[in-house]
Amino acid sequence: MRATVAVCVAGAIVAMGPRAGAREWNFDSAQPGTLPSPWSAAQTGEGHGSVWKVVEDSSAPSGSKVFAQTSSEGPNLLFNVCVANDTDQQDVDLSVKFKAIKGANDQGGGLVWRYRDANNYYIARMNPLEDNFRVYKVEKGKRTQLETADVKVPAGEWHALRVVHRGNRIQCYLDGKLCLTAMDDTFKGSGKIGLWTKSDAVTHFDDLTLDTPK
């Protein structure tokens, strides 16, 4: 699929609570410095990186603990992934709050869904260093862009990212605004959900929510 470029103007973070029946992870009951069960770290590509753990962050949207990719050593082509092993869902309404902390090669991050393994999944991510918001597929370890939008959001602040995937239609929101719509049939079945950063991007995540699209 050939990607198109849109311009999306994101506003302030939009506070949205989970619906009844949705699953939510806010990591406040986890021990700092640990990778909470049933989460597991993985990586697409080779190199040092993918160091995920719970850390303290007084600016967290809820509580004082967040989940973070903490390594700043990842090479440019490394994708840092962390997935919830007790999830297996096809159509998703998935959201998270994230804060880009630092990164010389890359910044920010986002969501993973329909994850089969470390080489096959979908990603939606925001990169404050590049001023763009994009949705990709990773198939057999190769990342292919499906859609992109030019958008500026400052690093060091919390923002909200949301993905709604029904069938083959993917809609991606940033701070409550629909920015990306793509159609793709690569991964039709269910899979795990998770979080993603690239290369040396150190990023904090909080209030991850998984629901079924209504």
- Encoding tokens for residue 6? 């849109």
pLDDT at residue 1 in the model: 39
Give the domain ranges of the chain. Answer: 24-207
Contacts of 120-125 with CB under 8 Å at 24 or more apart are: 120/187, 121/81, 121/187, 121/191, 121/194, 122/163, 122/165, 122/170, 122/184, 122/187, 123/79, 123/196, 124/161, 124/163, 124/170, 124/172, 124/180, 125/161, 125/196, 125/197, 125/198
Beta-carbon contacts of residue 20 (< 8 Å; ≥ 6 apart):
none
Q: What is the pLDDT along the chain (214 residues), one digit of tens a residue?
A: 334 445 676 555 544 455 667 999 999 999 999 999 999 999 999 999 899 999 999 999 999 999 999 999 999 999 999 999 999 999 999 999 999 999 999 999 999 999 999 999 999 999 999 999 999 999 999 999 999 999 999 999 999 999 999 999 999 999 999 999 999 999 999 999 999 999 999 999 999 999 999 8
- Encoding tokens for residue 105? 């090669």
Establish how many alpha carbons lie within 13 A of residue 45's alpha carbon, considering only the half-sphere containing its beta carbon. 18
| Sign, CA torsion 155/129/94/172 | positive
Q: Decide which of 2.60.120.560, 2.10.210.10, 2.30.40.10, 3.40.50.620 is the CATH code for 24-207.
A: 2.60.120.560
pLDDT at residue 18 in the model: 57
The H or E element containing residue 179 is: strand 177-183
Dmax over Cα atoms in the chain, in whole Å?
Answer: 44
